[in-house]
């Protein structure tokens, strides 16, 4: 394994992120603070608790997951799209690097950025509501698996996109709506039975539910099912990345 080359890609992506901290880090944190003001104060005054958890604390895992999903996809998609747009993608492709090493550099950097942001949002949340984490090890596991999985998805989107408009299409029209409808701000138990069944077809439900369980030991679906769904989605994303490099889809043309 060419570790120096992986480190070079990783450091380059992290350095680029460091030059845009205002939009990459500060903006999501401010947006999260506004969520607490709007949802925690306005709605929280009418909803005291959900599953025995104060509403303000209940939405924290969902808010972290909301930012984790969107930022993982955005970081990874832009990270690979910009080299394609500028024509510099042929440098790593022509270098003595395997597809695994290229993906590790780009996806590793994107996942790291998202995890840092998630931890900062977690720290910010403690300023607004009292938190507890019943299963810290599982919280880290869910954090890592979700960040890596959606960074892989973002990598595929960055390869697929032909313009900046398409780059934003999936995050804005698919990821964000699914996250808002995936139990970020509510429990499935408050929905009518029909909508509870419909919500189970939303893959984000399993991510949010499992992550919330690591905080408060309460979830809408079993933790085992949540882990299985994350594993399945990870396998699908890995298969898509493998196919991209095997066929050279939009990399060799």
Query: Could you give phi then psi for residue 54, rounded to 5 degrees?
Result: -55, 140
Under a CB-based contact definition with an 8 Å cutoff, are residues 214 and 142 in contact?
yes
54 strand-pairing partners: 49
Q: How confident is the model at residue 45 (pLDDT cuts 50, 70, 90)?
A: low
Examine the pLDDT at 40 and tell me if it is beyond 70.
no
This model's pTM is above 0.85: yes
Using one digit for the tens of pLDDT, what is the confidence trace for 85-125? Answer: 887 888 887 888 888 999 999 999 999 999 998 998 898 88
Examine the pLDDT at 185 and tell me if it is beyond 90.
no
> CA geometry: angle at 117 spanning 111 and 121, to 5°?
145
Using one digit for the tens of pLDDT, what is the confidence trace for 9-33? Answer: 899 888 887 777 766 677 777 877 7
Examine the pLDDT at 214 and tell me if it is beyond 90.
yes
- Residues whose CB is less than 8 angstroms from the CB of residue 148 and which lie 6 or more positions away in sequence, other chains included: 107, 111, 234
Print the SS3 string covering 192-245: CHHHHHHHCCCHHHHHHHHHHHHHHCCCCCCHHHHHHHHHHHHHHHHHHHHHHH
53 strand-pairing partners: 50
Q: How far apart are CA 48 and CA 84, in angstroms?
A: 50
Give percent above pLDDT 70 in the chain. 94
Q: How far apart are CA 82 and CA 17, in angstroms?
A: 13
Examine the pLDDT at 215 and tell me if it is beyond 90.
yes
User: Average per-residue pLDDT in the chain?
Assistant: 87
By CB atoms closer than 10 A (0-12, 13-18, 19+), residue 67 is buried
pLDDT for the residue numbered 228: 94
């Amino acid at each position: 394994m060419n570790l120096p080359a992986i480190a070079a890609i990783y450091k380059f992506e992290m350095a680029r992120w460091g030059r845009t901290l205002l939009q990459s880090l500060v903006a999501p944190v401010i947006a999260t603070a506004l969520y607490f003001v709007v949802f925690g104060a306005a709605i929280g005054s009418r909803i005291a608790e959900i599953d025995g958890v104060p509403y303000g604390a209940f939405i924290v895992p969902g808010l972290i997951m909301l930012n984790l999903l969107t930022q993982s996809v955005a970081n990874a998609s832009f990270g690979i799209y910009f080299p394609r747009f500028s024509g510099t993608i042929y440098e790593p492709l022509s270098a003595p690097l395997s597809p695994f090493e290229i993906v590790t550099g780009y996806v590793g950097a994107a996942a790291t950025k998202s995890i840092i942001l998630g931890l900062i949002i977690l720290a910010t949340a403690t300023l607004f509501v009292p938190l507890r984490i019943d299963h810290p090890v599982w919280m880290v596991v869910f954090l890592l698996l979700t960040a890596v999985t959606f960074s892989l998805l973002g990598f595929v989107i960055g390869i697929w996109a032909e313009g900046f408009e398409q780059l934003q299409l999936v995050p804005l029209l698919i990821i964000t709506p699914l996250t808002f409808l995936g139990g970020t701000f509510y429990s499935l138990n408050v929905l009518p039975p029909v909508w509870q069944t419909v919500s189970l077809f939303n893959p984000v439900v399993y991510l949010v539910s499992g992550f919330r369980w690591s905080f408060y030991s309460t979830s809408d679906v079993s933790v085992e099912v949540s882990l299985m769904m994350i594993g399945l989605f990870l396998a699908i994303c890995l298969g898509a990345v493998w196919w991209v490099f095997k066929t050279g889809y939009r990399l060799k043309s």
